[in-house]
Every structure is written in structure tokens, then in C-alpha cells.
Amino acid sequence: MYITVNELASILNKTKRQIQYMISNKFAQPINPDTHRRDGGYRFSPTEVERLKEIYTRNDLSLKEASRIVGITPQYLNQLALDNKIQSSMVSIGHRLERRFTKENCKKILVELKQKKHSKRNNQYGRKLSNYSNGVRLFKHIILDDQKCVIVNTDPLSVLNEKGESVNINNIDINIEGWIDKPYVTRKGFVEFQIPIPKYVDHPAYNLFYTLIKQIGPKNIQFFETPLGDYYIRTRQSKIHISDDEFYLLQKFILKGRIENTKDCIVLSSGFDQVLLDIPYDTHKKLSTLAYKNQQSVNDLFLNIIEEFLGELDEE
């Protein structure tokens, strides 16, 4: 007994159009490819139906389906499989091989990637804080158990309460929209601050931090908790609008770059100007060789030479 296209679609839980696509791409092999018009449609043998059932009614996931569960691109997931970071199997689909995954392995690699993400946050500046996670914004003031609190960590979730206690909580019964997406600042350079972590909820620094993320954009500013109990802040060059008191607070704790109060706004700049220079090839080659020997960049070496020269001029 042979199976029609409609019957095969019902068996595989697919549409008639999908079956036609499978036939045209040779994923499905009818017994009458040359005579199907005369026969009133394609027909499939029981053996072919069983083969297709094994492929298309499997519990495993395609590369695209698995990548959605893990939350990464199919290309990245495929590379993880090639590197044996996640178990997978190759299945023959028509004349090609497809990589397949199980839900269990997808969930396992998802946990591993999250742990890896957390470990990456502990870098040279300290533990990186996420500006938005678990439906809340970093440094947002909220009311929790009739107390005014400020969110001091979004992942894992923790707040600073009115008693000055930092408390870990499982969840907050509110959902705060993510930050408005601001364009990524492509101009090279950072401005950096190191501010002691405030110990009480109404400290003006928390309103300042929240304003900085809101105006500069979450892509352009990073907050870190240092082992010494400070917030280390790295922000790309920006123009912001803050109060005079907030300006003086930033000015007091700046480590790198410049902060300038102009008539219209506050300007955060790296303190460097980009200058295009035409350097003779032989000179540039000598600079590159010397920079390599000194284990520094050509840019840093060039700056050192200029500063030494200017210093000698000052002495004269």
C-alpha cells in the first residue's frame, strides 16, 4: 500500500507545501518521480515513510531550534559542537547531513555559558554589574516591604535598604522596562571614575549613577564593584546634563580622562585628540621595530617620544 502526499503530511505533522519542498529538494523519495502526473500525484513506499518518520518525528532538535533554546546564534552553537563543548549527532537528511541536539544538552550548555558570563565579569576592574537583568534596572529606587530601597545588583538580584543593609532577594513583584536603547558610541576612548560605594539608600550618588546610564546608554557605560568597596565606572565619551553637585562629585573621583562644565552641558572626554599624521615609511618602520622590542604599541611609543621632547624643551 502506497502513501499519498496528503497522507504523508498528516503522518509527519507537516503541510502539503512542506512535503512538496521535501520532494523537490530530494529529502523525500517518492516511488514515481517521473510518472506522478499520470498517477494522480506522488506515492511513497512504507519503507520511505518509516525512514521519514525516523527523521522528522525525532525528539532531537535542529541547529536552528537548539540555538533558540541556548540563546546564541546557530553559527556559534555549531562551533561549540565542533569544539566538543556540546554533544551532538549528525543525521542524514536527503543528500546532506544535519547536526542534531537534545534538549538536555542544550539546557546544560546554557547553564555553562551563564556561569562563564559571570566569571568574565570578574576582571581587572572588579565584578562587572549588569545594567539590566531579571526585569529591573540597576540603581533604580523601589519600595520593597514598605521600605525605600535601591537596586545595587540585578544578577543576582540584591537591594540596599533603609538600614544600610545589602539584601539578596529572589524576585521583585514589579517589571521595569529595559533602558531606552542609545546608539553605541564609536569614538575611541574612555573616561573612568572610582567612587566609594554609598552605604545609605538616599545618597545622591545613586541618582547620579541612574542618570548616567539613562543619558549615556547602557551600551556605553560599565559599573564594577572593586574588592576595596568602590564602584569603578568606565564610560565612553559623552555629553550629559546633570546638576552642579553631581558634576563636582564626578570631578572629585575622576581617574582617567576629562570632565568639563560648558555652558550647555557636561562633556566627558578621554583627554586625547585624534590627529592624522603622514610619517615617512622608514620612520614608521623604525618606530614599529622599537615598539616591538619595548613590548608597547607604536602609539604609546610615539607619545613617549613627544613627551620626552617637550620635557626637554621645558627644561631649556
> Do 203 and 231 belong to one domain?
yes
From residue 181, alpha-carbon distances to 131, 184, 216 in Å are 12, 9, 10
> Do 19 and 48 belong to one domain?
yes
Residue 198 belongs to domain spanning: 190-269
Position 35 scores a pLDDT of 92
Position 275 scores a pLDDT of 74
Contact predicate 19/5, CB 8 Å: yes
In a domain, 157, yes or no: no
> Do 263 and 202 belong to one domain?
yes
> Do 83 and 109 belong to one domain?
yes
Q: What is the pLDDT along the chain (316 residues), one digit of tens a residue?
A: 789 999 999 888 889 998 998 898 888 899 999 999 998 999 999 999 988 887 777 677 888 888 888 888 888 888 888 888 898 888 776 566 788 888 889 989 888 887 776 555 556 788 899 999 888 999 999 998 889 999 999 988 999 999 999 999 887 777 788 899 889 998 888 999 999 999 999 999 999 999 999 999 999 999 999 888 999 999 999 999 999 999 999 999 999 999 999 989 999 999 877 777 888 888 888 888 888 887 778 788 888 888 888 877 766 6
Position 94 scores a pLDDT of 59
Contact predicate 291/304, CB 8 Å: no
In a domain, 256, yes or no: yes
> Do 196 and 265 belong to one domain?
yes
> Do 194 and 262 belong to one domain?
yes
Give the SS3 label for residue 295: coil
List the alpha helices (DSSP H) in 57-203: 63-70, 74-82, 103-121
The model carries a pTM of 0.55
> Do 73 and 49 belong to one domain?
no
In a domain, 86, yes or no: yes
In a domain, 107, yes or no: yes
In a domain, 235, yes or no: yes
In the listed set 77, 92, 115, which residue is the last one of a domain according to the structure?
115
Rounded-to-10 torsion of CA 67, 71, 76, 77: -40
> Do 196 and 258 belong to one domain?
yes
List the alpha helices (DSSP H) in the chain: 5-12, 16-24, 46-56, 63-70, 74-82, 103-121, 204-216, 244-252, 281-294, 298-315
Q: Count structural domains, the chain.
A: 4
In a domain, 137, yes or no: no
Work out the burial of residue 221: count CB atoms within 10 Å of its CB; fewer than 13 is exposed, 13-18 middle, 19 or more buried. buried
In a domain, 122, yes or no: no
Position 25 scores a pLDDT of 84
Position 277 scores a pLDDT of 80
In a domain, 163, yes or no: no
